[in-house]
Amino acid sequence: MNLSRRNLLKNSTATGLLLSLIAAGALRPTRVLAAEWNKAAFESKDMASALKALGAHAATEHRDLLLKLPDIAEDSTLVPVDVISHIPNTRTISILVEKNRNPLSAHFEFSNGALAEVSARIKLAESSIVKAVARADGKFYTVQKEVKVTIGGCGG
């Protein structure tokens, strides 16, 4: 039995079905690929503008929003950041770095019932405050931590 021929036929049938659904308009991958993003927030040049563009200018601190990152970053190009929100109905988590050229480093959106936990590697231009902002039930919550960069910041 020729398994590679069988796999080719199975895969081509699935691919044909997928292409037929796309052509018929039943699936619209362009909606996923062209998902809206907050251009103003990502292009902001300071923390206040980025928070305003996110709608989070009046964010309050919350003990159920956790930010984990090192106190000292030896490699400022790959600083590990973990954000965990135990706040019910968390819909978004954003990570911002105060002294970067563009403070908004990452933005994540969650579906209803999803575990609001993210891990990322971010760049720090220099020693700076890193801030996480979560949106839950239409309100914004924040937590922050200062990180010291020892050598080779990304441009600072």
For 92-147, what is each residue's pLDDT tens digit? 999 999 999 999 999 999 988 789 999 999 999 899 999 999 999 999 999 999 99
Give the strand pairing for 139-149 and 72-73: parallel
pLDDT of residue 74: 87
- Start-to-end Cα distance in the chain: 63
pLDDT tens digit sequence for 47-62: 999 999 999 999 999 9
Q: How many structural domains comprise the chain?
A: 2
pTM: 0.74
Q: Are residues 65 and 141 in the same domain?
A: yes
For residue 140, which amino acid is it? F
Cross-strand pairs, 128: 147
Q: Are residues 18 and 82 in the same domain?
A: no
Q: Are residues 27 and 53 in the same domain?
A: no
Q: Are residues 54 and 106 in the same domain?
A: yes
The answer to whether 87 and 45 have CB atoms below 8 angstroms apart is: no
Domain of 86, in residue numbers: 45-149
The answer to whether 57 and 49 have CB atoms below 8 angstroms apart is: no
pLDDT of residue 9: 47
For residue 11, which amino acid is it? N
What whole-number percentage of the chain has pLDDT above 90?
A: 63
